[in-house]
Structure 1
Amino acid sequence: MQAPDAQDAVRVRWLNPIGLHTYNQPIAELLESIKQPATEVEVVSLDLAASPSHLEYRSYEALMSQGIVASARDADQLGIDAMVIGCFYDPALEDAREISGATVVVAPCQACLSVAAQLANRFSILVGRHKWVEQMHERVRAYGMADRLASFRSLEMGVDEFQQDHAVTRARILEEARRAVKEDRAEAIVLGCTLEFGFFHEVQREVGVPVIDAVVAPFKVAEHLAQLKQRFGWTPSRVWSCEPPPEHELQRFGLFQSPPALRGRRF
């Protein structure tokens, strides 16, 4: 096997945007199995004294936004090429991008829809609960994909349930994916939560359409964009609507003067 080109060596941070490290190890194992040989990956979560275990509620998401934004700036200062915000709501995505310097910031919903749009004209998104639909629909519309959305299908499961009993989760995903294809005429399925990872291969084989995993897709998009950055200098724009806050203001306001508290591992 030919040695990887030095230009392909990139650094990607996966941020689980909660203050618990529960999911760091299983996600790290998945990313290690799919990354390019020269890619260095860091899987971290926020290190908080008190934290929800999921972001199913907007109020929980708001509490995590500061850490997400701080992590994006920290990634740039450490020379990390790309960062993934590991929640399908894409929390604080635009805010993190504004201050991420040369670090590309990716999030699951936008990345998954982009991949699905290259493979099919219509897709269905499998969410955990009906509670999620309105907020995710806002994202779909904002990304210009509303006319491609065949349906939302609810698994009637909370985030914390997805990795508890894999047989139950797999059965529910398969059931709703089949209904989406048959009844809603979906041509691709998007798994609408990062903790729905580990099931797409089997479901895809059974239903016969692309099934987009919400961990695999954003990570591979981030890795690809990181490689484009290294090879072609395609870094985030920093003019007009992409203008970041001036450094002298950050200094004057005392903002981002120390690195965020993160917990995780690098491989």
Structure 2
Amino acid sequence: MLIKSTLAVVALVATMVSGCEPPCRRGVAQAFADSYAPVVQDAVSQLHSTLKTNLFQSITVPVQITSVVPEDSIKDAVLRAVQETLEIYTNRATGKPLTTGIYNVMFNEQDPFKGDCNHPKRLNRTMPPEGVSWTLDECDHMDYICGNPPSICYHLQMVKTRIIGRIKNQLTDNATFDDGLLVHSLVLNIKRAVHSVMTHYGAGSMTDNVHVMEYANSLVSNAIKTLGEWVNTDVQSLCDGSASESSHCSGWDPQIKLEILKWP
């Protein structure tokens, strides 16, 4: 009886470790996050360029403001606020939210890379020896979704499609919802920049002036409009194969496969 129990435990452990365990999942998700972070950075950089072009479009600085604050000073302050906001956002968007989103689409949501990989049997081993990677040949043979790294490797294009979909959704949510991180930060910091420069020039008492408020709201309106256009163009076309896509969208498949396959 003891021998049977021991064999059962050994079999259970073998089954458990034959899948991509938590360290493997986190490592694989981080590898994809490292590959896609530059794509997000390029998208936000494009937004920055578009904001600089559109932010002051069709807006005249009221004489009530220019009589006390040089026009260039207020514009420079607003542009600095936009740049700082986008830098902070980029650091956040390419950090934990990106990695967590990738982890979820791979391992927690529809068709997760979990489950037994031996029925039907495609490979001659349940896992490599310690310190040894899976092979590209094993990647080529693991043709159904299950819980080992060769399965992820085989379905690389599917994984990339899922990840891009998640990145699009996250950027869209951040840029369009009223409480989205990006839109909320831009609106708040543009208004703060206007108020700050007014105060710097000794006109802090005018921050509640109707002309100052209308000017700040016009800037905010242009920023929100630009965010919407960015979502509909740059975000929705991320890694779509067009000539304008980020240079970081492709070219790293061989490297990411090796990174995936190094996990037990």
Structure that is richer in helix per residue: 2
Structure that is richer in strand per residue: 1
Aligning the two structures, in what range does the TM-score lie when normalised by the shorter sequence? under 0.3
Which TM-score applies when normalising by structure 2?
0.28
Bigger Rg, structure 1 or 2: 2
